[in-house]
Structure 1
Amino acid sequence: MIRWAVLSVLVMLGACSNQPPAPAEAGGSQAQVQAQPPLSKAERRERQIEHLLDRAELALSRDRLLMPAHDNAYDRYASVLVLEPGNEAARLGLQAIVLRYLDMARDAAQRSRFAEAETYLDRAAGILPQDEGVQSLIQQQREAIARPQERPAADNVTLLDARALGSRSDGIKTELVQLARRAKQTDHMVLIVAASDAQGRWIYQTMREAVKGYLLRGDIQVGSPARIEFLPPLEE
């Protein structure tokens, strides 16, 4: 009897396992998938603008200003202004690109790389060509780079034209020859201050060749502005 009872229970359990699951009741624990309403045109544009601004900021932080093509700060900000012409963040971003190019131009000019400085200024001018304030700022920078340095009143210091040094023009060579002859005549030591050690060595070599047979005593320092200082002769 016990054996038949056990078999009956197993048969009943098997029958129950073959039954399909009961449908979930409305409001039960089973999660209901809710269909999301489609975004409106304005919402899609807002999300696109946010994405472009994020990408533009990243490119700007990495100095990808105008290059590489289609992955630079300028293209991203310009795309935002197409979608929303009055977007202030994009406008400020373009101004930031201009300022970055001005910084790069100043740095290049200080290292006597004037052609490179002009390239940066040309790029800056093309960012906001209709903005009079920006164009005025760029023009001021051009004039500051092109303006020759004034000679100081002190007799023992002569400033050298950074642009002429950068191109090693005939004019700067003639000036260095004259300075070398002055050093020989007065028997002064010279302190050469130049934008780089290589430029300082070139200045010294040019001066030394101008007074062959005379030991031109001098020292070289890296600094700005570029200049020649005549030091008193050492006392015996």
Structure 2
Amino acid sequence: MTLLYLQPLLKLRAVIPITLSLLITACAGLTQTSSKQAPVTIAQVVEAPSATALEKPLEANLAVAPLGTKGLPTVLPKVGLKEVKPPLALASTNQPTDAIAFWLGEAGWAFEQDKLTTPKSDNSYYYLTKVLAKEPNNIKAVAALKKIVERYYKLLRSSLSQNKVQQARVFLSRATLVMPTHGQLASMRQLIDDHAVNQSAEVSAEVSAPAPATAVPAMRNQKLLVPTQLLDQQDQLLAQWLIRVAKKAHALKATMLIVAPKDDQVRWLYQTMNSADPEQRIRANIKHSRPARVEVKYLARKDELEVYAN
């Protein structure tokens, strides 16, 4: 009886530990499962821009963080920045100074190229006059003008050393144009006059001392002086003498060089001598120099041409 009564109790006693064990195991599993779940993230709410906002450019007071490799960009709040406008472009007050610097540079470059007064609108003198038109007392421009005159002085001396008197006169004329009051202009004129006198003396000496006769024909260069006063008057006796010289030169098959200081003088000499034979032109070149003369080259044993007798 006793055993039968206690038998249910014994079963209950065995069931309770088992139940507790199952509960403990279930709780442990539940804790482990909860700890292994992915962390819960709080979704960031980003306000989607409206259609009107998309059409407008970004305002200066919105700062947008750079895009990351993952996720959406973060929109930072407004910080109250004011729109910065670029300053208005003001008219340059240095424009005249800049122009003067440019012209001075161009004048210096042209001077180095020996473009002193030519070609037109692209020479040192041209650019310096533009500078002086804006600043009449510009020290650099005035100094540059003096250098141009000094350069012409050197060119003039070089021309005279090569007996190019007419070219030297051109250099003097251009130097006078650049700076009419320059002190070297008087020296330049004196150099030309002295050279002309010396050249005239040399020619006169050659004329007064004719070449001696030779046994066989030799090349001769007779220099026949033309009186300047009669040349200016276009004297008829002088014209007759020139015609005789032209006819003789043609017979000798000579070549001639007609020399005179001025254009009208050279032109008259040439036309007068060319009228000696209407059917043939004279073989002659022209040259601007002093003294006025006719140089005749031909092959002969002695001087064949007559010298003009005053």
Superposition TM-score, scaled by structure 2 size: 0.41
1:37 and 1:127 map into 2 onto residues whose CA distance is 39
SS in 1 for 2:122: coil
Tell whether 2:177 aligns with 1:177: no
Matched letter for residue 138 of structure 1: M
Tell whether 2:91 aligns with 1:38: yes
Do 1:128 and 1:134's aligned partners in 2 also have CA atoms closer than 8 Å?
A: no
Greater fraction helix: 1
1:136 to partner: Cα distance: 2.3
Structure 1 match to 2:168: 117
1:50 and 1:78 map into 2 onto residues whose CA distance is 13
Do 2:156 and 2:188's aligned partners in 1 also have CA atoms closer than 8 Å?
A: no
Structure 2 match to 1:201: none
1:211 to partner: Cα distance: 5.8
Asked which structure has the greater CA Rg, the reply is: 2
Structure 1 match to 2:197: 147
Do 1:176 and 1:207's aligned partners in 2 also have CA atoms closer than 8 Å?
A: no
1:112 and 1:100 map into 2 onto residues whose CA distance is 19
1:21 and 1:115 map into 2 onto residues whose CA distance is 88
Do 1:102 and 1:141's aligned partners in 2 also have CA atoms closer than 8 Å?
A: no
Matched letter for residue 109 of structure 2: L
1:22 to partner: Cα distance: 7.5
Q: Which runs of 5+ in 2 are unaligned?
A: 1-36, 47-67, 216-296, 304-310
Tell whether 2:49 aligns with 1:16: no
1:39 and 1:88 map into 2 onto residues whose CA distance is 24
1:66 and 1:23 map into 2 onto residues whose CA distance is 67
Do 2:125 and 2:145's aligned partners in 1 also have CA atoms closer than 8 Å?
A: yes
Q: Which runs of 5+ in 1 are unaligned?
A: 27-31, 151-159, 165-170, 185-205, 213-236
1:47 to partner: Cα distance: 1.9
Superposition TM-score, scaled by structure 1 size: 0.52
Do 2:159 and 2:167's aligned partners in 1 also have CA atoms closer than 8 Å?
A: yes
Q: Identity of paired residues, percent?
A: 21
